[in-house]
Chain A
């Protein structure tokens, strides 16, 4: 930026907290085209004043020194419509409010001066953004034709997008296709409803914009959102370009042959809920062993679910399904007795009405207990432990129905990739040790051979990475349909265990996201979490050393590698987190408005007083998704903290480049604190593993610090969630105290 104006607001207590003149003076010292103070910048008069100054001085950069960028967002954003770049520094939340208890007034002013210097340094580096203008396909491809896939197809087509529905079987419908009925979806939620699948299939077949391809698999998908090139095999053998993809490949029943302890295989009268469904469809309920009508059917819930040795999770639909089957049994033969043995009946939400109705209508016996084993001697004897009926008991039944859970029909992209890499290493590595280890690993992963579904041409593997238990999810709370591959959305039972009606909703939601992705790609915008961001990273490849850190660490598979290992960018896959930027040891990755250099310049712009002044300095690099909003909330709630802290919001802790730490500490800044999202199994990082990667980088930085004769404790990473804003003062003050005990940074003044 050539000509930057500094606009300092004195409202909201800022004017009283700081010496306005001295702050303006600091801005002038750095050098700027104009300065302006106003008692209420966000008011129409204030905004008008800024506009006036912009046109008068032909500014191309606006530094708004007022409140947090989460306040008055729309008002200030309107200023950039005519072209100038804007950067906002939160004098109010980072200085005026939280430092109100500072012992010396000059500390507050110094903080504000630093903020202005840093803001100017940042704006100075910002380059003009050239949005992507690519040819984008309108087509949505839906993979899988169960309830979720059918609903997704109809939704996308209903929104005016052409749809290609790909199904590997020779018919549509998925797991539900052959089911007699489904649990109720309409009030009063008391009786099973007709299976909606046949109706949906007719609707899909009749729709002009939906192309149905059965008996079809995917050989390869290359490219990026808006431009996926898809090759299909099977009878169609087509190639086509699609804009986005909904993976609704569904689930399969858990393999009951692993449930020998429940009598499956030992007695023909032990059947799965799916096998039992066939009897219901035929309207003839018999014991397979001798064809007699069972006097009592026992349903074993959680058969191989919520079980350390089998499926660890709850499939969430089996309880309701059993209730439905009980009701169907009563319709077919009211004399048959139903008994349910369960760990917990999970009838969430309105299904409680169905649960009640099933109990009332069938008079079914329901008993909680752990099934230890099922013995077959003439009658089937279900041995239970820890039952509510008494300690250990056994109950007889003529027919046992195992309510088995569901296993997602997903492919673990990351493990498939590891398999391929291991096979490759085992053949080509120069070290015999590596060859041996790789061969061993390849053997362990041999089962993954040939499990590919999407066959993505992505460096990080041919399918979606899975999160837990094989479900390809990414961040359920914030982005319920997102996978870790931009433009590919998971829906239905492959996404998470769910029942029919949820699968319908899931398919609808995923289709809407798929359409949104296409529409935003047309405008060159990121879909999420930085929705609407048109900037994307630039790789200065001349200096690339092919170290592959960026291609490995990108959580979204944005980068492929060429044969040498040089990254190939697919900007429409990118989510703009900057993790590649943080990873790059050569610092060749930059966004037009966010780069290693810009932040380094901000750090350089901080004034570091001499040791004699006894004014330590702390740099806080904070995640703008959760940590900075938490800081704003803390300030708004009247929290106060140490005046030595200077905050720089960054996109993700994963974008933190080690260079920044070196820069800060070598300048004599006493300590650097990184505050980001929680990581681990229940991670909250919007970019899946940014804060975790930052932590890994810190582990490696300790040595470097020791070489500089600095204590490794001068750099600290803290995990914080949005709602923990109350912890902020404690975190900052504790760190200040720890640094105080260590004494000043010995590099001060060098």
Chain B
């Protein structure tokens, strides 16, 4: 019987996994209470029971190629009901973190971010140092202080401090890097999903369906126990980021409205745009959404011991703090433009903002942020496998 698959159990994986917050998986006695109470688990591939078993046995291959962990919204119904205090919701979160690390391209960056408990200073300070060196090399000109820039005209011109070209250079590069690595990891993930479960149907149709579910946060409705803060926090932050991304995109377009790329749009306003312009409105509404949403997420996590909330691992904490810092420094940067803040403070906050955004971009494929990739793919995959037993 050569056809019997031999299980490749990995002790290293178990150890690593237990270390990353999954150690409770060892307590599981496979009663399947978790899978039974889960509202989201598909009937043909229920979770989280078997994922916990795989984790217990260190079956990395199976965990990595499975959609289950990404279909879990961690409402923690299972954690509340688990008779063994395994906290399957947290175990699933730990599995997701491990999968992000294992699928990372290149692998060492996955390890770097996966070990965020130890490596976070590097991840935070690296981009800051980058900006400081870059600015130091190109010359530091602080408006209001640097005599060459003249007096302030009631507004604070950050572009005098950091030339746009540096920003575009840095963030286009970072974006392309993130997109490329995510494309590479996403392709691997998608292939593996396909080998573990056959798909039928149109990819784009399913993708659009998944986008719709994500846009409306439809699945959060199925697990409505005590996740108000998480659901609305996530909703606002997600749309806030979308709004901020559109704003940034249009800002670039407006800035270069007279170049060959955008002149055909025939845009009227000169730069800087008036505060009443719709792009500004969009940006500010997005900022409000981000602040409120970020606050909700932060408050949600401030409840240690509550099983409905779950455990916050360094992986979670790092991501949340990066997002919160991006939001806070972004809002402050705008605020300092209108109030007469000390120029050095404004510039310092602006540099921190630029640095943390860079951290966000660079760690995107390896941090919790990567869920936008894996979750979307898993949800698409689920739609294509729903009818195959």
Contact = CB atoms under 8 A, between A and B. Distances in A.
A166 B6 CA distance: 52
Contact of B57 (A295, A360, A362, A365): A365
Contacts of A296: 11
A389 B4 contact: no
A359 interface: yes
Interface string A374-387: 00000001010000
A227 to B, nearest CB: 53
Interface in A545-579: none
Contacts of B53: 367, 388-389
B26 A360 contact: yes
A363 B18 contact: yes
A195 B187 CA distance: 58
Contacts of A295: 11
Interface string B111-149: 000000000000000000000000000000000000000
A396 interface: yes
The residue among B6, B18, B26, B54 with the most chain A CB atoms within 10 A of its own CB is B26
A364 B11 CA distance: 11
A364 to B, nearest CB: 7
Interface string A629-668: 0000000000000000000000000000000000000000
Given A389-B53, A392-B4, A393-B4, A363 B9 contact: no
B5 A365 contact: no
A388 B32 CA distance: 11
Nearest to B6: A394
Interface string B47-89: 0001001101111000000000000000000000000100000
A383 B84 CA distance: 29
A368 B1 contact: no
Contacts of B59: 389
B6 A393 contact: yes
Interface string A488-530: 0000000000000000000000000000000000000000000
Nearest to B8: A396
Nearest to B3: A392
B180 interface: no
B23 interface: yes
A395 B6 CA distance: 6
Interface string B1-29: 10111110101001000100001001111
A736 to B, nearest CB: 50
Interface residues of B, number: 24
A366 B29 contact: yes
B30 interface: yes
A390 interface: yes
A43 B35 CA distance: 63
Contact of B7 (A337, A363, A368, A389): A389
Given A359-B29, A363-B23, A365-B57, A337 B5 contact: no
Contact of A393 (B5, B11, B56): B5
B19 to A, nearest CB: 11
A365 B56 contact: yes
Given A389-B53, A389-B59, A368 B5 contact: no
A382 to B, nearest CB: 10
B389 to A, nearest CB: 14
Contacts of A394: 4-7
A383 B23 contact: no
Nearest to B57: A365
Given A363-B18, A381-B6, A394-B5, A389 B27 contact: no
Given A366-B56, A388-B53, A345 B29 contact: yes
A388 B84 CA distance: 19
Contacts of A71: none
A234 to B, nearest CB: 48
A356 interface: yes
A355 interface: yes
A25 to B, nearest CB: 69
A368 B11 contact: no
A562 B55 CA distance: 71
A364 B26 contact: yes
Contacts of A393: 4-7
B121 to A, nearest CB: 31
Interface string A46-70: 0000000000000000000000000
A339 B56 CA distance: 10
Contact of A388 (B1, B3, B27, B30): B30
A383 B1 contact: yes
A351 to B, nearest CB: 12
The residue among A295, A360, A381 with the most chain B CB atoms within 10 A of its own CB is A360
Contact of A389 (B1, B18, B26, B57): B57
Interface in B22-45: 23, 26-30
Given A367-B53, A388-B50, A389-B53, A396 B29 contact: no
A356 B31 CA distance: 13
B14 A363 contact: yes
Nearest to B56: A365
A363 B26 contact: yes
A35 to B, nearest CB: 67
A395 B7 contact: yes
A590 B316 CA distance: 85
A394 B57 CA distance: 13
Contacts of A389: 7, 53-54, 57, 59
Contact of A356 (B3, B7, B84): B84
Contacts of B54: 389
Interface string B327-362: 000000000000000000000000000000000000
B27 A360 contact: yes
Contacts of A355: 29
The residue among A359, A362, A368 with the most chain B CB atoms within 10 A of its own CB is A359
A333 to B, nearest CB: 14
Contacts of B11: 295-296, 337
Contacts of B29: 345, 355, 359, 366
A381 B54 CA distance: 19
A66 to B, nearest CB: 53
Contacts of A395: 6-7, 9
Contacts of B28: 359
A383 to B, nearest CB: 6
A366 B18 CA distance: 15
Nearest to A383: B4
Contacts of A388: 30, 50, 53
5 contacts: A296-B11, A356-B27, A365-B58, A366-B30, A392-B5
Given A345-B29, A366-B30, A393-B4, 9 more contacts: A339-B9, A355-B29, A356-B27, A356-B84, A360-B27, A365-B56, A365-B58, A390-B5, A393-B7
List 5 A-B pairs, minimum CB-CB distance, nearest first. A363-B26, A394-B6, A365-B57, A392-B4, A359-B27
